[in-house]
Structure 1
Amino acid sequence: GGIALAGTALAGVPVSTTHVISSAIMGVGATRRLSAVRWGVARRIVWAWVLTIPASAVVAGVVYVVLKVALSL
């Protein structure tokens, strides 16, 4: 996890430390044995990753519309 974060920081690529660390923990567990990973938890984490960007876009759009209406009065 730390190497990935250092590499992306040097390259100027924005990443979520939470995503990197949680995927690193899953990867380490999987290298020991696949049954060491709690796949139900891993599935929920991946769904959270997938839904983060669209949910953020919706929230940003709603805030934009509310502010546009509020400030144009």
Structure 2
Amino acid sequence: MAYSHVSKKNGVAYYLHARVTPTANGTRTMYFFAKEVKAGDDVTKALDEVPAGYIVVESDATGLPLLKKG
């Protein structure tokens, strides 16, 4: 089951995803939240938990969840 976070500002559930992108030095994992669980493939997948070393915070302006190193 994908990790979900319900926004305190607008009450919408958002689901955590990770996308692996190529860089000059190898690959980089980018984390993002979406309103729907995306179909998993070899580049983008839904995550079951928050990655180690990160915490979920909300944007004061929009209520969108964000990952922050904590």
* TM band (smaller chain): under 0.3
| Greater gyration radius | 1
Q: TM-score, normalised by structure 2?
A: 0.21
Of Structure 1 and Structure 2, the greater strand share is in 2
Q: TM-score, normalised by structure 1?
A: 0.21
Q: Using CA pairs below 8 Å that are at least 6 residues apart, which structure has the higher relative contact order?
A: 2
